Amino acid sequence: MAEENVPSKDHWLSIGEIAHRSGVAASALRFYEDQGLIGSRRTAGNQRQYQRSTLRRIAFVQAAQRVGLALAEIREALDSLPDDRTPTRSDWSRLSKTWRSRLDERITELERLRDDLDGCIGCGCLSLQRCNLYNKSDRLAERGPGARILNVGIPGE
């Protein structure tokens, strides 16, 4: 994650500046670094310094979160990108395919739910046997211990 080899003339940003410009809290940025999502170099006095490109990386992370990816998945995606150059069109297209299908799936599920809901408004049912809302996608039974974050458009799901 060291961002050492860099077109010398760049100037570096402090964590405060990055936090301010990205809208992400400094504590979150440190956390992201722990998680391998972003990198930094240090000053003589051990303070973090970021390249401007880190802002782009952070924006990427945020977009990916909105798509519904967990941080671990986002890290994988970032790792699959060439070290620290701007991604090419084909890098990007590869990634966006995953995103796209995630989004499509989730959108489809929500639309179906909405349609069922509309059906239910008409029928006023809530009857267990008949109602689509109730009987769709039963036994989604996601398994394993630990918290279940969401159903709901969030990572993990």
Partner DNA sequence: CCAAGAACTCAAGCTCACTTGAAGTACAGT
Partner DNA sequence: ACTGTACTTCAAGTGAGCTTGAGTTCTTGG
Supply the minimum distance, in Å, between the C-beta of residue 60 and a second copy. 7
| CA geometry: angle 140, 153, 107, nearest 5 deg | 85
Q: Does 6 bind a second copy (CB under 8 A)?
A: no
CB of 67 to DNA, least distance (A): 11
Q: How far is the CB of 19 from a second copy (least distance, A)?
A: 5
Residue 72 contacts which entry, a second copy, DNA, none (Cβ below 5-8 A, type-dependent) = DNA
From the list DNA, a second copy, none, which binds 15 (C-beta under 5 to 8 Å, kind-based)?
DNA
Q: How do strand 41-42 and strand 48-50 relate by DSSP bridges?
A: antiparallel
Q: Residues 6 or more apart from 118 whose CB is under 8 A from it? A: none
In sequence order, the 6+-apart residues with CB closer than 8 A to the CB of 108 are none
- Candidate ranges 38-46, 89-97, 114-122, 129-137; the one touching DNA (CB under 7 A): 38-46
Edge to edge, the sheet with strand 41-42 lists 13-14, 48-50, 41-42
From a second copy, DNA, none, interface partner of 99 (C-beta below 5 to 8 A by class): a second copy
Show contacts with a second copy in window 22-41 (CB under 8 A).
22-25, 28
* Alpha carbons within 13 A on the beta-carbon side of 21: 16
Reading the block at residue 15, the tokens are 């964590």
Q: Report the partner that residue 41 touches, choosing among DNA, a second copy, none (CB closer than 5 to 8 A by kind).
A: none
Given 56, 76, 80, 130, the residue binding a second copy (CB under 8 A):
56
